[in-house]
Amino acid sequence: MKTIGVGLIGTGYMGKCHALAWTSVKAVFGDTPDIKLAALCEVTSELAAKRAAEFGFAKSTADWRELIADPEVDVVSVTTPNQFHAEMAIRALEAGKHVWCEKPMAPKFADAERMAQAARRSRASAILGYNYIQNPAIRYIRKLIDEKAIGAVNHIRIEMDEDFLADPNQPHSWRSEAAAGYGALDDFAVHPLSLIATLLGRVEAAFGEMSKPYANRPHQGGVRAVETYDIATALLRLPGAISGAIHVNRCAWGRKGRIFVQIFGARGTIVFDQERFNEVGLFVAEGLEEAQGFKQVLMGPAHPPYERFIVAPGHQMGFNDLKIIECRQLIGRMLGEKTLAIDFDEGLAIERTVHAIARASRQGGWATV
């Protein structure tokens, strides 16, 4: 494969991140085929043409089926709202195109299953936008766990909080519609679940609670009912008798991009916060008690693939860099390499957990995943 032709559907928040990743991946990693920004799709021809000019795509269209059918498109980035993922990703896989689909897979489990089936049937690669697992800090934490730096892990606790829906006067959007899913569970909880899958394995059982802080939001001069749950909590049982807890909240004033991870083991603790995502905190119970304490490890070229971005330690990576790494992982799979990414099968296991948490919340008891 000499050139990869990219098709992008959706150009909002994530669409721009995908466009930036496709633009930068070769310059950062150096070892990829040439990337051609072939075609872009938006809801209107005008918006599509405007974005294509801004992002540097050769063609634009308001018809995503036309983009998928385009012979110059080898891989499709799906960055539309959740309820469109299944139809677009399945159509792309059936057309033999590789797929980079944003998380979550789909609000309905049956649709996520159909996506996983389409990926299994296809010879193309398909991954999901679980960018946080790509952080060099997370790879380092995985290494610490594997090397038993904190002994046998017994508990993981992850909080994911942001405040973009904290204001009750924030207008209604697709994120408050039931068509997009449960709310904080499939918008946020899937990210902690992707970290748990990467660090410790698949969840076996869940206990959950979902809540709705605001019943209505402003909409077209009036108000419209909020159909989703912006706060969710889950207790988890993991392999090896490890217990877990996740707390997610889209209405958490003051929290901008917090994913606070604590991993407890028999001889130490690892802490990580996405708002300080170039640092890993490590406590090991050794040496004089009076000298014990957390040490902060600042990411640098010793923590791959940090060195691909900048040679200087401590100069900090950012969110878009995680998308560039994720893009390189997809290209690796397209080239037959084994790379770190959440594919549609692993994604389905995350969806299964999300639905188990929701079921547990409704039933008031533990649900098997």
- Does position 183 interact with ligand NAD (CB under 6 A)? The reply is no
Q: How many CB atoms lie within 10 A of CB 102?
A: 25
Contact string 102-121 vs ligand NAD (x = CB under 6 A) = xx------------------
Task: Return the range that interacts with ligand NAD (CB under 6 A); candidates 7-15, 204-212, 247-255, 281-289.
Answer: 7-15
- List the 258-265 sheet strands across, edge first: 295-298, 279-284, 268-273, 258-265, 153-161, 242-249, 231-238, 205-211, 367-368
List binders of ligand NAD among 249-308 (CB under 6 A): none
- Does position 341 interact with ligand NAD (CB under 6 A)? The reply is no
Which residue's CB is nearer to ligand NAD, number 62 or number 149? 62
Q: How many CB atoms lie within 10 A of CB 303?
A: 21
Q: Exactly one of 24, 32, 60, 82 binds ligand NAD (CB under 6 A); which one? A: 82
Which residue's CB is nearer to ligand NAD, number 282 or number 322? 322
Output the six-digit token pair for 33: 């085929």
Q: How far is the CB of 282 from ligand NAD (least distance, A)?
A: 26
Q: How far is the CB of 47 from ligand NAD (least distance, A)?
A: 7
| Cβ atoms 297, 276 nearer than 8 A | no
Q: Select from 277, 238, 294, 262 the least CA-distant residue to 156.
A: 262
Q: Select from 103, 104, 100 the least CA-distant residue to 127.
A: 100
Q: Select from 260, 230, 257 the least CA-distant residue to 245.
A: 260
Which residue's CB is nearer to ligand NAD, number 9 or number 282? 9
Task: Return the range that interacts with ligand NAD (CB under 6 A); candidates 8-16, 207-215, 297-305, 337-345.
Answer: 8-16
| Cβ atoms 29, 337 nearer than 8 A | no
Q: Exactly one of 5, 7, 129, 183 binds ligand NAD (CB under 6 A); which one? A: 129
- Helix (H) / strand (E) containing 209: strand 205-211
**C-alpha–C-alpha distance, residues 214 and 232, integer Å:** 14
Output the six-digit token pair for 107: 């609000």
| Cβ atoms 36, 4 nearer than 8 A | yes
- Does position 198 interact with ligand NAD (CB under 6 A)? The reply is no
**C-alpha–C-alpha distance, residues 168 and 213, integer Å:** 9
Which residue's CB is nearer to ligand NAD, number 205 or number 349? 349
Q: Exactly one of 4, 5, 7, 10 binds ligand NAD (CB under 6 A); which one? A: 10
Which residue's CB is nearer to ligand NAD, number 7 or number 268? 7
Q: Exactly one of 5, 15, 107, 268 binds ligand NAD (CB under 6 A); which one? A: 15
Q: How far is the CB of 281 from ligand NAD (least distance, A)?
A: 23
Q: Exactly one of 81, 151, 257, 313 binds ligand NAD (CB under 6 A); which one? A: 81
The number of helices, as runs of H, and strands, as runs of E, in the chain is 10, 17
Q: Binding residues for ligand NAD, how many (CB under 6 A)?
A: 21
Query: Residue 145, SS3?
Result: helix
| Cβ atoms 72, 37 nearer than 8 A | no
Output the six-digit token pair for 175: 């994120």
Q: How far is the CB of 302 from ligand NAD (least distance, A)?
A: 26
Query: Residue 9, SS3?
Result: strand
- Does position 80 interact with ligand NAD (CB under 6 A)? The reply is yes
Q: Exactly one of 3, 12, 58, 275 binds ligand NAD (CB under 6 A); which one? A: 12
Binding site for ligand NAD (CB under 6 A): 9-15, 41-43, 64, 79-82, 84, 102-103, 129, 131, 187
